[in-house]
Chains A and B, each alone.
Chain A
């Protein structure tokens, strides 16, 4: 995969993992790849991947079963959607709004496009 956004790599990996859960590639209560396996999959340093896992664990999206590895937590899909929505409203929406204003696109025009 290509990493070319402005976000640090561990956060881009968080996005990737969240997408996998939202798409159903990884279902709730299913075991996910280990940190090392994930690193090898995407060609990223395992120490960087650890930060992604820590963040997702803190957000209660995944959890660690001692000796068994990481699993997707029950209710993860709903929590991810909530997080992504919050991020969308905080970061992307204002930029989108500014662009609409700059281009003079009205509410009606936008609604028709949607």
Chain B
């Protein structure tokens, strides 16, 4: 479990995260949403020990990421939004880092790369952005870490690769894993999420399971503006609205609408 208490971080005087407290539990796939610049990527870097701060505390299964303890580092894998990759083959890169990850599954890597249609002998430097993304995602999943931090994982992926990605993550998910996906491409990953967290600079605006959100709110598209809507936007198909769910029926979450509603309330 990841526990964050009163965490703050600033880049040369500019606050990014300001006194954030929250937690990420096992067995869940989190969608981490937030406007540009609220500190989603910074949070990822703090969680895996790439950045450190004296203000606040992060506890991951008894480890503090800033200590960069090998026992901790072998539990977590982070994929940044832009992964350049070194001038070595995927195969050599994976076997090189695999000594740090005790649960590495070589067969899984082969099968994932095969599903993604990537040759394991290719060098990262010879791959396109989308191919590099496929390669590093395959490596990340094959390392079988308990924590997986994915920053905009679908950026650069073509349409079939996005579907493939969803299947891979769904397959990889189990009760011991925590997967956090930070994205603006909500539609690419929404079926994967069972928990949604909306981050703002100074607080967590929303931290709820998909099931709870569906029970609390009702998402509708209607031709007329609903009178009792909490939030409403006019679009091509009519009025998209959020209202309190007073029935025992559930509707599908419109995450973009939810995001706009939550941000409009702050």
Contact = CB atoms under 8 A, between A and B. Distances in A.
Interface string B157-176: 00000010111111101100
A43 B27 contact: no
A74 to B, nearest CB: 29
Given A36-B171, A41-B167, A43-B167, A48 B191 contact: yes
Contacts of B174: 36, 46
Contact of A6 (B27, B191, B251): B251
Contact of B194 (A3, A5, A12, A48): A48
Given A9-B191, A40-B170, A43-B170, A48 B163 contact: no
A92 to B, nearest CB: 15
B28 interface: yes
A22 interface: no
Contacts of B263: none
Contact of A46 (B168, B173, B211, B219): B173
A89 interface: no
Interface residues of A, number: 20
Interface string A13-48: 000000000000000000000001001111111111
> A interface, by DSSP: helix, strand, loop or mixed?
helix
Interface string B208-226: 0011001000011100000
Contacts of A39: 170-171, 173
Contacts of A67: none
Nearest to B162: A43
A51 B194 CA distance: 11
A53 to B, nearest CB: 14
Nearest to A50: B194
Contacts of A3: 191, 252
Residue of B174, B191, B210 ringed by the most chain A CB atoms within 10 A: B191
B197 interface: no
B191 A43 contact: yes
A43 B154 CA distance: 14
Contacts of B167: 40-43
A94 B221 CA distance: 17
Nearest to A40: B171
A5 B173 contact: no
A31 to B, nearest CB: 19
Contacts of B192: 43-45
Contacts of B169: 43
Contacts of B148: none
B232 interface: no
Q: Which 5 A-B pairs have the closest CB atoms?
A: A43-B166, A40-B171, A39-B170, A47-B194, A43-B167
Interface of B: 27-29, 163, 165-171, 173-174, 191-194, 210-211, 214, 219-221, 250-253
Given A3-B252, A46-B170, 17 more contacts: A3-B191, A6-B252, A7-B251, A8-B251, A8-B253, A36-B174, A39-B173, A40-B170, A41-B167, A45-B29, A45-B170, A45-B193, A45-B194, A46-B173, A47-B27, A47-B29, A51-B211
30 contacts: A3-B191, A5-B252, A6-B219, A6-B221, A6-B252, A7-B251, A8-B214, A8-B250, A8-B251, A9-B191, A36-B170, A39-B171, A39-B173, A40-B171, A42-B191, A43-B165, A43-B166, A43-B167, A43-B169, A43-B170, A43-B191, A45-B29, A45-B173, A45-B192, A45-B193, A45-B194, A46-B173, A46-B174, A47-B29, A48-B194
